[in-house]
Amino acid sequence: MTSVPPAPTSRHQRRVRLARSVLDPAAKAYLIGYLVDLIPSILKAILRFVTHEIKRIRLLQKRVREEKRAARELIEGDNPIVVPESSTSTWEDIVLPSLRGMPSIAKDVGQAAGVALGPQGMAAACAAAMLGTAILDELLASIFIKSGPKAAKSSSSSYSQNRLAKIQHIRIWTCFVAAALSSGSSLMLVQRTSAAGPSGSSKRLEGTPRPGMLPSPSLNSLKKSIIARFSPNSTLDRPSGLPTPLAPGGHFLARLTSLSIPVTPANPGSLSPVLQPKALPNDPEKSLNAYDASSGLPSPATAANTAPAEKSRALGKPSPTVDLTLFALVRGLDTLIRAMPLFTGSAGEIVSNLPKGSTRILGNSRSREQLGNSLRTGGSALVSQAEGLTFVMCCAVIMWSWFYAPERLPPTYVKWITNLATMDERLLLALRGIRNGKPHVWGYGNPNVTPQGIDMLSSLAESLGLPYEWGDPTRLPHSSSDAQRLIKEAKAANAETLAQGREVARDPHRPGGDPVPGYVLSGAAGRRGKGKMGGMPCELVHCGVGGSSCFANAALRWLRGWKVCMGIYIPVHLLPRLLFNPRQFAKNPIDAIQKVLMGSARSASFLATFIASIWFMVCLGRTVLLPRLFPSVSHRFWDRGLGPLMGSFACGFAIFIEEKRKRAEMALYVAPRALYACAEMLRPGWLSNGQSGAVWAERIVFGLAGAIVVTAARFRPQSLRGITSVMAWVLKSNARELRVKAKAITS
């Protein structure tokens, strides 16, 4: 009896399998892109509604308080009047209007859902990228596999293995090329559709700021009132073209902190006679803006006006997808490093295998072996902490940009940092004026200081209840020798007044009762009040927190930051447990709540330490340590940027308080912003003005980064982590099982 050979696979079945292999990833990518557009829109709609209701309830409470106060005054007056009770009720005036306004959330979500389905959304772009990758990959693979060199056929297993290995290498590179071309083309499609869309419509991309995420009116009015007085040419009122952070968490935290943290001090007004100083006839700011005396070249603003040809080739604003590209670049580099073989012990092997002639430098073989082991150990330790060190470097770039070049960061990002730091806007302007001369010159003894520059910190001093002249750089001593000279002159004048039989006039409003009348820093705490240190007093720098003590300022800011961050991180840690694992939470709620509180406290401690370390490093560089060690150095140097530089580097080390598994994600979150700031630092305007070269570079970078992630998801899915591991699900890769096996083998 002869055996019947198996029936060959029908052509229809092969076509079905091919169609599924092409369409399934595209459908999954469409779903992911749709959620990327929809989830932030839902969060923004909820935040808009909650913000509006909080404002309405606060106004209602204020009105009720005013009515009660007026009624009490009428009842307790000379002619008592019977006042009817207020008709305000909790249900009709608070709960019912909120319930009536809730359909607006559904309306906004419905509109966002419809827009996300269209060709301008991320869903269509993601689906097109995966569809193009699958089709182009099959086409290239069929071409190169058929046209490859054919070896003599053999029945041995080595032939089959070599053949399969060659095919595998071909498929890897065809997948990479196909993914690169498709990803770059999809990004170009997104850029073209977003540029062709109507300005100001609801269909704009995630990269452009939306009205619902703008700062609250109270903070906006405070910021405008401060900046408008000291920055006649301020651009805060103009719509900023900088893109906002890609991750919706940045928007959420910025919006939440803006509702809970006031900018200090509460009174922004100035009590000085120079309320609205006018520009002088020979205002040095005008000459500074028109001409750079140090270089003999026109200023950047003047140079920009004389380069219309360059502007004509630029968008005039950043590309709407620059955040997405930087995000993809960081994730692609992370995947590339994890997918490549690790060479942590290569340096140690080189040292251990040096020839015998090198013993005079490195000693005998035992010494070389010990040195090699040390290098291996140090390299392993460095690699194990790579995520934390990456976060440190990225935060250094970001915080330095926040201090002196905030235009390199998105406005919402700057606002979030400013709110958490609770630093008065005028102090930031003064720091930038000391270093950059913009928006106003501010320097100790600088004759170019304008009335606006003087009033900038002097108004802050008055709003804190401090002497007006403590913010006047033309009167403050710039060094310890200058302070000693001024206090000696004041004491000599006071002695002469007493010798003439007259009483020395003291200012009763000064701190300490004006111990040295006539001395500009009389009443200041510590060495400055004694004439042993120059610079603006720390009472002014601390913005009313902790008084004159730098240690109390750092401690109070740590406690304040921890309290605020606990309110932020408790929902962040609690909601995933309630949404994704409710059964486990209901099974053991006490243990789950304990883990939530411990995780929230740890994350809040990280962010509070981040905030407090910056403040303490600024004080360390200008008051606590360095001016005491080097008293002859002027505060023109100490206040020019050393303290903020030390704080920018030190704050990132707070990441080591967090769990190790979270450090990588946090480093990958801040890395795109740091890359953007570095690009603007090296070549100003290249990204922020959307020059054509930057747009094409963006497409190339996005294509290569997307190709790395797609290729790794298909051929080495265990190298994916975090949000990129979703690509393994799109391509049906068993990344989770491979990671578990790798951990079991290494352990």
3-state secondary structure 163-188: HHHHHHHHHHHHHHHHHHHHHHHHHH
List, in order, residues 6 or more apart from 225 with CB less than 8 Å away. Answer: 268
Instruction: Kindly state the average pLDDT of the residues 284-288.
Output: 39
Which three-class secondary structure state does DSSP give residue 231?
Answer: coil
Asked whether the predicted pLDDT for residue 299 surpasses 60, the reply is no
Structure-model confidence comparison of residues 161 and 711, the more confident one: 711
The residue with tokens 């606002």 is 415
Handedness of CA 464, 470, 472, 478 (dihedral sign): negative
Encode burial over 278-292: b for 16+ CB neighbours within 10 A, e otherwise.
eeeeebbbeebbeeb
Q: Which two tokens stand for residue 336?
A: 């590339």
List, in order, residues 6 or more apart from 253 with CB less than 8 Å away. Answer: 416, 568
The pLDDT of residue 228 is 47
Distance CA 474, CA 446 (A): 7
The pLDDT of residue 6 is 52
Distance CA 165, CA 282 (A): 77
Q: If we measure between CA atoms, which residue out of 194, 189, 206 comes closest to residue 131? A: 189
Domain boundaries defined on the chain: 16-117, 345-416+423-539
Q: What pairs with residue 691 in β-bridges?
A: 314
Count other Cβ atoms within 10 Å, centred on residue 701. 17
Q: If we measure between CA atoms, which residue out of 652, 650, 624, 649 comes closest to residue 638? A: 624
Quick one: pLDDT band at residue 262, thresholds 50, 70, 90?
A: very low
DSSP H or E run through 562: helix 550-580
pLDDT tens, residue by residue, 415-432: 888 888 888 999 999 999
Q: Which two tokens stand for residue 528?
A: 């400055």
Percentage of residues in the chain having pLDDT higher than 90: 31
Percentage of residues in the chain having pLDDT higher than 70: 71
Asked whether the predicted pLDDT for residue 38 surpasses 90, the reply is no
Q: Which two tokens stand for residue 465?
A: 């209840």
pLDDT tens, residue by residue, 677-703: 999 999 988 888 888 888 999 999 999
Instruction: Kindly state the average pLDDT of the residues 181-203.
Output: 72
Which three-class secondary structure state does DSSP give residue 592?
Answer: helix
Distance CA 713, CA 707 (A): 10
Torsion angle of alpha carbons 27, 30, 36, 38, nearest 10°?
A: -100
Answer yes or no: are the C-beta atoms of 174 and 140 closer than 8 Å: yes
Torsion region of 246: left, alpha or beta (phi above 0 gives left; psi -120 to 50 gives alpha): alpha
pLDDT tens, residue by residue, 517-527: 999 999 999 99
Would you tell me the crossing angle of helices 365-384 and 386-404 to the nearest 10 degrees? 60
For 71-121, where are the E strands, in sequence order?
none
Mean pLDDT of the chain, nearest integer:
77
Instruction: Kindly state the average pLDDT of the residues 653-682.
Output: 90
The pLDDT of residue 276 is 38
Instruction: Kindly state the average pLDDT of the residues 323-340.
Output: 86
Asked whether the predicted pLDDT for residue 560 surpasses 80, the reply is yes
Residue 90's identity, in one-letter code, is T
Encode burial over 38-75: b for 16+ CB neighbours within 10 A, e otherwise.
bebbbbbbebbbebeeeeeeeeeeeeeeeeeeebeeee
The C-alpha angle with vertex 122 and arms to 117 and 126, in degrees rounded to 5, equals: 105
Asked whether the predicted pLDDT for residue 559 surpasses 90, the reply is yes
Torsion region of 665: left, alpha or beta (phi above 0 gives left; psi -120 to 50 gives alpha): alpha
The listed range with the strongest mean pLDDT (63-72, 239-248, 290-299) is 63-72
Task: Give the global pTM.
Answer: 0.70
The residue with tokens 């909601």 is 575
* 57-71, 273-287, 340-354, 726-740, range with the lowest pLDDT: 273-287
The CA R_g of the chain, rounded to the nearest whole Å, is 32
pLDDT tens, residue by residue, 48-95: 888 888 888 888 888 888 888 887 777 776 666 665 666 677 788 888
The residue with tokens 């993809």 is 328
Q: How many helices (H) and strands (E) does the chain have?
A: 31, 0
The pLDDT of residue 422 is 86
Quick one: pLDDT band at residue 271, thresholds 50, 70, 90?
A: very low
The pLDDT of residue 553 is 96
Answer yes or no: are the C-beta atoms of 344 and 380 closer than 8 Å: yes
Asked whether the predicted pLDDT for residue 733 surpasses 60, the reply is no
The pLDDT of residue 344 is 35
The pLDDT of residue 270 is 41
DSSP per residue over 348-413, as a string? HHHHHT--GGGHHHH-SHHHHHHHHHHHHHHHHHHHHTHHHHHHHHHHHHHHHHHHH-GGGS-HHH
Structure-model confidence comparison of residues 423 and 198, the more confident one: 423
Q: What pairs with residue 297 in β-bridges?
A: 292
The pLDDT of residue 156 is 57
Distance CA 688, CA 409 (A): 10
Answer yes or no: are the C-beta atoms of 152 and 217 closer than 8 Å: no
pLDDT tens, residue by residue, 468-488: 999 999 999 999 999 999 999
Quick one: pLDDT band at residue 367, thresholds 50, 70, 90?
A: low
Asked whether the predicted pLDDT for residue 724 surpasses 80, the reply is yes
* 170-174, 279-283, 467-471, 636-640, range with the lowest pLDDT: 279-283
Asked whether the predicted pLDDT for residue 292 surpasses 60, the reply is no
